Amino acid sequence: SAPRVVFQGLHDVPLCDRPIAGAPVGVREVAWLSVRDYAVLTGPDGATSLEVVRNGRRERLFNSVGARMGALEASPSGRYVVVRLDGALTLFRTGSSPALQPLPADDELARSITWSRDERLAALATESSVAVFPSDAGARAVRIPISAATVQWR
């Protein structure tokens, strides 16, 4: 079992105790989608790529040119990943096109996202509300008028 490190009390981050076989060159961040499959951020700041590796095959989902990309996280079953793109939370579907998914943030800064265990629903925290929406249809959301920094499904 890999050791866990807590950063700023926000997340438990499992550290890899050995290199990932077949991983792309220049890996900056990894989020596991399943036992074998993962999403990675590769490349330098300002020219970072988001890639998914499934069954040893790489697929590029997004290239950021001139923007910073980081804080990679995966949904429970790996159908979705989120990254911060110049600070803005950005959602991608990992297995189908189009990869970029809209978030129901109403032009507000999205602070945090979480999914139900079956990933049918997601909750998004913004400055003025928590939006609960079907994961595959971000435009249809029920808004709860509260300000939250983070959300977590229980």
pLDDT digits (tens, 9 = 90+) for 119-145: 999 999 998 999 999 988 766 889 999
Q: HEC states along the chain?
A: CCCEEEECCCEEEECCCCCCCCCCCCEEEEEECCCCCEEEEECCCCEEEEEEEECCEEEEEEEEECCCEEEEEECCCCCEEEEEECCEEEEEECCCCCCEECCCCCCCCCCEEEECCCCCEEEEECCCCEEEEECCCCCCCEEECCCCCCCCCC
Beta partners for residue 29, in sequence order: 41
Spatial distance between the Cα atoms of 19 and 2, rounded to a whole number of angstroms = 12
Spatial distance between the Cα atoms of 36 and 104, rounded to a whole number of angstroms = 31
Q: Residue 9's pLDDT band (boundaries 50, 70, 90)?
A: very low
pTM confidence score? 0.80
pLDDT of 69-121, one tens digit each? 889 999 999 999 999 988 888 899 998 776 888 888 778 888 999 999 999 99
